[in-house]
Amino acid sequence: MKTLIMKFGGLSLGTPAALAQVLSIVLHEHQQNKRLLLVISALDGVTDMLLEAAYLAQVSNPRGYRRIAATLRTRHMALVEQLPLSTDERTSLLADIDRLLFEMLDICQNVANMPSDTLSPVVSDKIASIGERLAARIVAGLLRQNKLRGVAIDSTELIITDQTHGNATPNLERTTARVQEHLVPMLDRQIIPVVTGFIGTTPSGVVTTMGRGGSDYTASILASCIHADEVWIWSDVDGMMSADPREVSSAQTIPNLSYDEVAELSYFGARILHPRMIRPLQEKHIALYVKNVFKPQLVGTRIHDAVEAAPTRLKAVTSIQGISLNVQRSGDITDLVQTVNRVFAETIGSGADVMISAQSSNETFLCFVIPTSAGMEAVDSVRQALHEAFSAQPQLPKWTLKPMSVLTVIGENLDDAPHLLATLLMCLDGVRLFALAQAPSRCSISFVVAAQDGKRALKQLHDAILKSE
The site for ligand ASP (CB under 6 A) is made up of: 9-10, 41-42, 47, 131, 197-198, 212-215
Q: Which does 214 bind (CB under 5 to 8 A by kind): Mg ion, ligand ASP, none?
A: ligand ASP
Sequence-distant (≥ 6) Cβ neighbours of residue 423 within 8 angstroms: 464, 467, 468
Contact letters for Mg ion, residues 248-287 (x by CB under 5 A): ----------------------------------------
Closest CA to 77 of 101, 50, 61, 49: 101
State which residue, 105 or 210, has the beta carbon closest to Mg ion: 210
Closest CA to 72 of 130, 18, 155, 19: 130
Pairwise CA distance, residues 142 & 13, whole Å: 12
CB 439 to ligand ASP: min, Å: 26
Residue type (1 letter), 14? G
Angle at 361 between CA 355 and CA 365, to 5 degrees: 20
With contacts defined by CB under 5 A, name the span among 210-218, 285-293, 372-380, 417-425 that binds Mg ion: 210-218
State which residue, 8 or 447, has the beta carbon closest to Mg ion: 8
Closest CA to 48 of 168, 111, 130: 130
| Residue length of the chain | 469
Orientation angle between helical segments 62-82 and 16-31, nearest 10 degrees: 50
Task: Report the residue number whose CB is nearest to ligand ASP.
Answer: 215
Sign of the alpha-carbon dihedral angle for 230, 164, 205, 68: negative
Sequence-distant (≥ 6) Cβ neighbours of residue 147 within 8 angstroms: none
User: For residues 192 and 144, is the Cβ–Cβ distance under 8 A?
Assistant: no
With contacts defined by CB under 5 A, name the span among 149-157, 160-168, 208-216, 339-347 that binds Mg ion: 208-216
Pairwise CA distance, residues 319 & 269, whole Å: 6
State which residue, 69 or 272, has the beta carbon closest to Mg ion: 272
Task: Report the residue number whose CB is nearest to Mg ion.
Answer: 213
- Among positions 150, 170, 197, 213, the unique one binding Mg ion when judged by CB under 5 A: 213
CB 21 to ligand ASP: min, Å: 17
State which residue, 131 or 193, has the beta carbon closest to ligand ASP: 131
With contacts defined by CB under 5 A, name the span among 153-161, 213-221, 310-318, 336-344 that binds Mg ion: 213-221
Q: What is the widest separation between alpha-carbon atoms in the chain?
A: 77
CB 223 to Mg ion: min, Å: 16
Residue type (1 letter), 142? L
State which residue, 47 or 176, has the beta carbon closest to ligand ASP: 47
Angle at 457 between CA 455 and CA 458, to 5 degrees: 65
Q: Which does 411 bind (CB under 5 to 8 A by kind): Mg ion, ligand ASP, none?
A: none
State which residue, 41 or 292, has the beta carbon closest to ligand ASP: 41
The Cα-based distances of 458 to 77, 183, 244, 424, 453 in angstroms read 44, 45, 10, 11, 9
CB 213 to ligand ASP: min, Å: 4
Residue type (1 letter), 92? S
State which residue, 212 or 442, has the beta carbon closest to ligand ASP: 212
Q: How many residues bind Mg ion (CB under 5 A)?
A: 1
User: For residues 40 and 66, is the Cβ–Cβ distance under 8 A?
Assistant: no
Q: Which does 454 bind (CB under 5 to 8 A by kind): Mg ion, ligand ASP, none?
A: none
State which residue, 47 or 347, has the beta carbon closest to ligand ASP: 47
14 part of the interface to Mg ion, by CB under 5 A: no
Q: What are phi and psi of 154, to 5 degrees?
A: -80, 125
Hey, how many other C-beta atoms are within 10 angstroms of the C-beta on 364?
Answer: 21
Q: Which does 141 bind (CB under 5 to 8 A by kind): ligand ASP, Mg ion, none?
A: none
State which residue, 121 or 197, has the beta carbon closest to ligand ASP: 197
Q: Which residues bind Mg ion (CB under 5 A)?
A: 213
